[in-house]
């Protein structure tokens, strides 16, 4: 059992009260989810509770279900087994748990009876076993999709989680601090010949010693052009740029998400330095407009335009900036979106689909590149988002017949090759404030000079 964290538990209670004003008397069943087996039943992945549960209860309780009805919250929990105290230590009694979590505690076997009288709404747990049990408990078919009631619950929770409260912001700051420390540690240990795994280990150690985990599988690679490359089997050599996309997860489950790139030798070679500066300028252009009222797609497009202008200046692209961006030519080298919501999930509330990232009436573009943008809402104070432009030389894109037609002679391959880069991304976490934004991860070295001064030292 993880330690009780009074601030998170108190914040959770306030969130439940806010939720009840949105839902009225509609009951809501929020499962914590259950540990998943790695290879045999008692050997499980380190348990991570559902984000909705963490948000509304403030504490991870494997296998528990929260049943919310107006201002009443009942937590249905499996009572301790006889030998739990031997294997897991002194387990809090129901009375102690109830006092700590400020909820009613009920034995799990009472849940079917409690639900029988209700037509509860629910959000699916992350794990398949709990999902199956959940459908059974709610009297739904095994393949039932979510109901309209569920959709209303999702909208209500979403509206709360979109705008972070003070306790959430404290956790995001903490995640940011751990994440920054990890990146500095990674830069410090880097020298030619070191394994990607050793750099990753040094970074994750900074998190583990803070009793934090990672909010997603760490990407630490000299092949940054493979966007979700979670292999660490390679070796970093002089001339390579190392890309590290590593984020902390606080003990309460809140996420950091930062990417930095640094030269393994400690010095960017000429073309690499130019390419790095293009991405840095693109991030600056995006940050410049990241404030309340800005549509997030415009943040993306600002990064796209700056990237395009940078590549024009380097002779990698030819043509008109606006035309190149409108045609999506930049997306051949910057294929992903400029960022996403951040909160308890690294892609916050992605379990709810594009309903989370896209404002009502907005939908994903079908254009290559823009189609991968995970977020298109107007920014509001209290939202946390990432800003992460990048520049990649991806053979699968550049050799694709359809995509080559987009290019239409406006990409100079020789100039691109001369940059001598495979993949660069620069990513920070920001919190939208009343007047603009705060960078939650500002401590991670970022300018060419800062990065070069940190690598190997």
Q: How far is the CB of 402 from a copy of itself (least distance, A)?
A: 10
Select from 75, 64, 127 the least CA-distant residue to 351: 127
Q: Per CB under 8 A, which of residues 383..442 are in contact with a copy of itself?
A: 394-397
d(CA 212, CA 252): 9
Considering only residues 108, 160, 197, 312, which one is a binding residue for a copy of itself as defined by CB under 8 A?
197
* 354 counts as binding a copy of itself under rule CB under 8 A: no
Residue 364 Cβ vs a copy of itself, minimum distance, rounded to whole Å: 14
Q: Is 344 an interacting residue with respect to a copy of itself (CB under 8 A)?
A: yes
Smallest gap from residue 192 Cβ to a copy of itself (A): 16
The span from the CA of 265 to the CA of 50, in Å, is 42
Nearest CA among 328, 230, 320, 314 for reference residue 278: 314
Q: Is 31 in the site for a copy of itself (CB under 8 A)?
A: no
Size of the site for a copy of itself (CB under 8 A): 70
Tell me if residue 232 falls in helix, strand or coil.
Answer: coil
How far apart are CB 379 and a copy of itself at their closest, in Å?
A: 22
Cβ(89)–Cβ(3) below 8 Å: no
As a whole number of angstroms, the distance between CA 121 and CA 136 comes to 13
Q: Which residues, including other chains, have CB under 8 Å from residue 333's CB and lie 6 or more apart?
A: 307, 311, 316, 391, 392, 393, 416
Q: How far is the CB of 165 from a copy of itself (least distance, A)?
A: 19
Span near a copy of itself by CB under 8 A; candidates 12-20, 156-164, 191-199, 271-279: 191-199
Q: How is residue 391 annotated by DSSP?
A: E
Q: Is 50 in the site for a copy of itself (CB under 8 A)?
A: yes
Q: At what angle do helices 6-23 and 166-189 cross, to 10 degrees?
A: 130
Alpha carbons 184 and 177: distance in angstroms, whole number: 11
**Residues 6+ away with beta carbon under 8 Å from 302:** 285, 286, 288, 289
Q: Enumerate residues 60-89 that contact a copy of itself by CB under 8 A.
A: 85-89
Binding of a copy of itself at residue 200 (CB under 8 A)? yes
Comparing CA positions, the residue from 19, 99, 31 lying closest to residue 67 is: 31
48 forms part of the interface with a copy of itself (CB under 8 A): yes
Work out how close the CB of 113 gets to a copy of itself at its nearest, in angstroms, rounded to a whole number.
22
Residue 273 lies near a copy of itself (rule: CB under 8 A): no
Contact 50, 31 (CB under 8 A): yes
Cβ nearer to a copy of itself, comparing 82 with 434: 82
Within positions 126 to 165, which residues make up the interface with a copy of itself, using CB under 8 A? Answer: 126-129, 132, 142
Residues 206-235, interacting with a copy of itself (CB under 8 A): 206-211, 215-217, 223, 225-233
Q: Is residue 98 part of the contact set for a copy of itself (CB under 8 A)?
A: no
**Among the residue ranges 7-15, 62-70, 197-205, 406-414, the one whose residues contact a copy of itself (CB under 8 A):** 197-205
Q: Where are the alpha helices (DSSP H) in 123-251?
A: 128-137, 148-162, 166-189, 196-208
Q: How many CB atoms lie within 10 A of CB 187?
A: 26
Q: Does 343 bind a copy of itself (CB under 8 A)?
A: no
Burial (CB count <10 Å: 0-12, 13-18, 19+), residue 133: middle
Which one of 35-43, 67-75, 256-264, 449-457 is the stretch in contact with a copy of itself (CB under 8 A)?
A: 35-43
List the x/- string, 283-322, binding to a copy of itself by CB under 8 A. Answer: ----------------------------------------
Q: Least distance (Å) from a copy of itself to the CB of residue 106?
A: 24
Beta bridge partners of 300: none
Shortest spacing between CB 34 and a copy of itself, in angstroms: 9
The correct pick among 195, 319, 381, 436 for binding a copy of itself (CB under 8 A) is 195
Nearest to 448 by CA among 310, 303, 269, 186: 269
- In the DSSP assignment, the letter for residue 195 is B
Return the DSSP state at 403.
Answer: H
Q: Which residues bind a copy of itself (CB under 8 A)?
A: 1-3, 36-46, 48, 50-51, 85-90, 126-129, 132, 142, 195, 197-198, 200-202, 204-211, 215-217, 223, 225-233, 251, 253, 335, 344-347, 349-351, 394-397
């Amino acid at each position: 059992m993880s330690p009780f964290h009074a601030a998170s538990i108190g914040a959770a209670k306030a969130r439940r009260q806010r939720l009840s004003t949105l839902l009225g008397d509609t009951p809501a069943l929020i499962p914590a989810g259950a540990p998943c087996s790695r290879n045999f039943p008692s050997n499980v992945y380190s348990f991570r509770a559902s984000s909705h549960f963490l948000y509304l209860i403030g504490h991870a309780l494997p296998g528990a279900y929260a049943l919310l009805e107006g201002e009443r919250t009942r937590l249905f929990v499996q009572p301790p087994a006889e030998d739990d105290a031997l294997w897991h230590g002194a387990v809090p009694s129901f009375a102690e748990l109830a006092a700590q979590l400020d909820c009613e505690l009920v034995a799990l076997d009472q849940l079917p009876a409690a639900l029988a009288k209700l037509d509860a709404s629910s959000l699916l747990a992350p794990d398949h076993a709990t999902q199956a049990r959940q459908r059974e408990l709610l009297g739904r078919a095994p393949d039932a999709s979510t109901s309209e009631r569920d959709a209303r619950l999702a909208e209500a929770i979403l509206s709360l989680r979109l705008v972070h409260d003070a306790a959430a912001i404290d956790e995001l700051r903490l995640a940011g601090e751990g994440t920054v420390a990890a990146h500095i540690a990674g830069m410090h240990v880097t020298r030619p010949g070191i394994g990607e795994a050793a750099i990753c280990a040094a970074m994750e150690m900074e998190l583990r010693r803070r009793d934090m985990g990672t909010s997603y599988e760490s990407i630490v690679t000299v092949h940054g052009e493979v966007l979700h490359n979670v292999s660490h089997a390679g070796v970093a050599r002089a001339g390579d740029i190392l890309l590290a996309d590593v984020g902390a997860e606080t003990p309460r489950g809140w996420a950091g998400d930062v990417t930095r790139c640094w030269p393994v030798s400690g010095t960017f070679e000429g073309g690499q330095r130019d390419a790095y500066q293009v991405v840095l300028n693109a991030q600056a252009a995006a940050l410049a407009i990241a404030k309340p009222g800005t549509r997030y797609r415009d943040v993306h497009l600002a990064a796209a335009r700056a990237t395009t202008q940078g590549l024009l200046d380097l002779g990698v692209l030819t043509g008109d900036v606006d035309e190149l961006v409108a045609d999506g030519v930049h997306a051949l080298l910057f294929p992903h979106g400029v960022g996403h919501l951040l909160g308890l999930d690294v892609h916050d509330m992605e379990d709810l689909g594009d309903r989370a990232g896209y404002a009502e009436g907005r939908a994903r573009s079908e254009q290559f590149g823009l189609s991968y943008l995970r977020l298109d809402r107007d920014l509001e104070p209290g939202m946390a988002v990432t800003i992460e432009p990048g520049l990649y030389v991806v053979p699968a894109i550049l050799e694709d017949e359809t995509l080559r037609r987009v290019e239409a002679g406006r990409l100079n391959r020789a100039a691109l090759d001369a940059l001598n880069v495979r993949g660069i991304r620069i990513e920070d976490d920001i919190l939208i404030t009343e007047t603009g934004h705060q960078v939650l991860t500002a401590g991670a070295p970022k300018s060419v000079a800062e990065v070069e001064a940190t690598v190997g030292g």
